[in-house]
Amino acid sequence: MADDYRRQGFDLERRIFELDVKCSSLRTEKQDDDYLQNASAILDKLKSYYRQGGESSNLSKLLQDYTQVILDITFYEENKLVDQEFPEDSSPFKIQQLLQDLTEPEVLAGRLAPAQEVQSVLGLELLECLYWRRGALLYMYCHTLHQRKQWIKKNKDTFLKCIQEGVRYLMRMLQVRNSVKLNDGVVFHDTATASFLSEGIFSDTHLLTMMYIGEMCFWAVKYEDCSAESMDRKEDRLQFRDIGTQILNKYVLACEGPLQGQGWNTENAKEILSILQ
């Protein structure tokens, strides 16, 4: 058991030095990129830690720093894909690579600290961010594909699988923090704050996540009835119509209630709801 733990620790060390090589290579493309600079600074600290023979006495901090490096490097790579408008030939492989990279911190946390919950090792914010980034990447990819009508005709099932995977990640993001119960002794200064927290809305990103889920559910409903594969495997398919309706209703209530006048638009959400309901 100790040998297995030590081997997995070596795997983390190896990955840190591999990421350093990758980060250095990417910085030759854009030396002044803020995210790559931040990743490089953290990697220097992690490399120094290992070169000094550091023991993983603070495994949580080690994995959190590693996770931040992953988030920074993949953000740079994602932006390149977006700027290139997701090239048809290379995007599928690159997206799977990015999804795998963004999954790795959670997997490592589970292996290296099996007695602890992943969220207690990485922290709520980083775990949320890992799910958000995977879901948002697939949202952006699907948003681009949705405008390529000829591609959709030939690759409908692939499109629906990307949507389903993206919605699952975004739903997980919304579920990382348990909704605050209003009767558990927590004192709120105003009812708007209480309402947001009780619905699991903790930030602008949570609201944006709801809108992304709603749009992806709409795309799925639009195309899934014509997909032979999705019809054959109904048990594996998300209930897109129900999910989209529930999430967008919550979004509209928040934006037209406590957030009214704060710049959140509900027109698109209402239009989608009129189709889903």
Which amino acid does the sequence have at 133?
A: R
pLDDT, one tens digit per residue, over 32-46 is 999 999 999 999 999
- pLDDT band at residue 5 under the 50/70/90 scheme: very low
pLDDT, one tens digit per residue, over 68-119 is 999 999 999 999 999 999 999 999 999 999 999 999 999 999 998 888 999 9
DSSP, collapsed to helix, strand or coil, labels residue 117 as: coil
> How does the average pLDDT of the chain come out, rounded?
85
pLDDT at 230: 47
- Per-residue pLDDT, averaged over 173-183, amounts to 69
pLDDT at 256: 87
235 and 209 Cβ atoms separated by less than 8 Å: no
260 and 223 Cβ atoms separated by less than 8 Å: no
The number of beta carbons lying within 10 Å of the beta carbon of residue 149 is: 8
- pLDDT band at residue 145 under the 50/70/90 scheme: very high
pLDDT at 180: 45
pLDDT, one tens digit per residue, over 153-177 is 899 999 999 999 999 999 999 988 8
Which range is least confidently modeled, 54-58, 230-234, 247-251?
230-234
Using alpha carbons, list the distances in angstroms from residue 259 to 102, 198, 266.
32, 15, 11
Whether the pLDDT of residue 122 is over 50: the answer is yes
- Percent of the chain having pLDDT more than 70? 81
Whether the pLDDT of residue 3 is over 80: the answer is no
CA 37 to chain centre: 22
- pLDDT band at residue 9 under the 50/70/90 scheme: low
**How long a stretch of residues is the chain?**
277
Which range is least confidently modeled, 17-31, 82-96, 110-124, 217-231?
217-231
pLDDT at 231: 44
Give dist(CA 164, CA 167) in Å, integer: 5
DSSP, residue by residue, 187-251: --SSHHHHHHHHTT--SHHHHHHHHHHHHHHHHHHHHHTT-HHHHHTGGGS--HHHHHHHHHHHH
